[in-house]
Amino acid sequence: MQEKLLQSTYKEFTDITDLPAQYSKLLVRAKDCLTNSWSPYSDYKVGAAVLLDNGQVLAGANQENAAYPMCLCAERVALGAVASQFPGVPPVAMAITTAKGSEPAAPCGACRQVLAEHEYRFKQPITIILQAQSGVIYVFDSVKPLLPFSFHL
C-alpha cells in the first residue's frame, strides 16, 4: 500500500474590485439572477452566470419543485441554457452566488460532475468563482480541485 497526497489550490479575494473585470461582471450577473430563483421550500436562492468562449454570458437561478428530486440547481439551469442556445461554444468561467450566509456556496456534487463533463467535452478548464451575498470570494482555475477523480466514460 502506498498513501498518496491529494492537494487543491484556489485563490481567495476579499474584495470584488480585486477580481479581473470579466469575473467581477460575471459575479454581479449571477447576483442579479438571484431574483429569478424559485425557492419557496428552502428559501435558499442561488444564482449562476456562465461566461462563454465567444464572450456571451448566460445566467440561471435555482428552480425548486414540491417534488424535491425534480429541483434544478442554478448551475445546471445556466449550463442547460448554454448547451441549448450556444451548442459547441465552450464555457470558460462560472460565477455562483447565494442570497444567504457569508461563506461562498460551493456547487453540489451533481453540478460538479456536470461542470467536469463540460471541461472534458471541450478539453479546457472552467474557472469557478464563488461568493455568498458578500464576503470572501474563492476562485478555482478548474472544476478539478472541487471534484478530483470525476467520472468519465
Residues 6+ apart with CB under 8 A from 145: 8, 9, 10
Q: How far apart (Å, rounded) are the C-alpha atoms in residues 67 and 64? A: 8
Per-residue contact flags (x/-) with Zn ion for residues 9 to 48, judged by CB under 5 A: ----------------------------------------
Q: Write down the least CB distance from residue 115 to Zn ion, Å.
A: 9
Which C-beta is closer to Zn ion: that of 56 or that of 108? 108
Interaction between residue 108 and Zn ion (CB under 5 A) = yes
Which cell numbers in the block locate residue 113?
Answer: 460532475
Q: Euclidean distance between the first and final Cα of the chain, in Å?
A: 27
Instruction: Report which residue's Cβ sits closest to Zn ion.
Output: 73
Q: How far apart (Å, rounded) are the C-alpha atoms in residues 120 and 129? A: 19
Amino acid letter, 144: K
Q: Write down the least CB distance from residue 110 to Zn ion, Å.
A: 5
Interaction between residue 73 and Zn ion (CB under 5 A) = yes
Which C-beta is closer to Zn ion: that of 103 or that of 108? 108
